[in-house]
Structure 1
Amino acid sequence: MNRTAERVLSIIAVVMSAVGTIFAFIGMGFFNLIKNDPAIRQEMEMEFMADPTMTPADVEAIFTFFDVIGGFMWLIIIAMILSIILNIIGIVNIWNNKNAKLAGIMFIIAGVLAGILSLSSILLYIAAILCFTKKPPLQEDIQFADQPHDGDTMRPL
């Protein structure tokens, strides 16, 4: 059975997820640089304190929020890496028509981990649906023109 559509969709999705993961690592590096640099932190504190409505407790709450965001970003990066791994497992399972249902399950889990409605996850959902719905064609008995057709009196040309 020809599974080219599933292969193409899953390969595009794995490339998009890998690029997204690389950009997430770069973004996380910049975020950590800004968060951990004392000069930048002091400048941000000065800007926050210039606002008369901000208190030192509010400024500390903002920096605590930055720490929480940093942890959440690591969680997203780990989920994206797991998505890439499951996507590659699905590609290997579908490559030679080994196990299309297992590949479909892997594609769905990878799509959820890549982001529920991201473009790469939508491609993975489509590939999973194709894995579940495509069935191999049935082998029908080939009838020749010289053989009688179930009571038909006419022969095909």
Structure 2
Amino acid sequence: MKRTGEVVLGVIGIILNALLSLIGGFFAWAATSDTTTEQMANDPTFSANPDDADAILGLMSTFGWAVVAAAILGFIFGIIAVVNISKNKSPKLAGWMFIVGAVLTGVVSVGFGFLPALLYLIAGIMSFVRKEPAEASF
């Protein structure tokens, strides 16, 4: 049985997780950048005190690293699932890997990784639902 749908959804989810890790890395880098701190200090529309600015940058850094961690976990679970689903090796294991990757990507990234998590969830459900066609016996 061909598992093209699951493989395609898994590969797209893997690519989106790689892009998500880059975005999370950018958030973490921007939070620690001197340029960001200077721009916040010199912005006349930013009326918060310096302690609030440090709290915002700390939160942004934490969020960035959480997104990176979620994307890496989703990437690893996606690779394992695609390897197991290709050529119909172990669809049950691949389904569990897709679903665990979906939950971890969606929850750890605080919803920022919604799209790869949704693709993994669909691929995981497809892995469980699709069965080999029964052979007709005459």
Verify same fold: TM over 0.5: yes
CA 1:63–1:20: 2 relative to 1, 3 Å? same
Matched, 1:7 2:3: no
- Highest relative contact order (Cα 8 Å, sep 6+), 1 or 2? 2
How many Å separate the matches in 1 of 2:127 and 2:105? 19
Q: How does 1:134-149 map to 2 (within 5 A)?
A: 134-141=130-137, 143=138
TM-score, normalising length from structure 2? Answer: 0.81
State the superposition RMSD in angstroms.
2.5
* Distance apart, 1:40 and its partner CA: 5.6
* 1:88 partner letter: I
| 2:110 paired with 1:114 | no
Shift of 1:130: 0.6
- The 5 Å alignment of 1:12-31 reads 12-31=12-31
Unmatched tracts of structure 2, length 5 or more = none
2:127 match: 131
The Cα offsets for residues 84-133 of structure 1, whole Å up to 9 and x where unpaired, read as 00000000110121211111111111112222571221111111111010
- Structure 1 segments of 4 or more deviating over 4 A? none
Q: Percent identity?
A: 31
In the alignment of these two chains, the number of paired residues is: 133
| Larger helix proportion of the pair | 2
Larger radius of gyration: 1
Distance 1:43 1:24 in 2: 20
Q: Which amino acid aligns with 1:67?
A: G
Deviation at 1:68, TM superposition (A): 3.0
TM superposition score normalised by structure 1: 0.72
Q: Note the residue ranges of structure 1 that are not aligned, 5 or more in a row.
A: 144-157
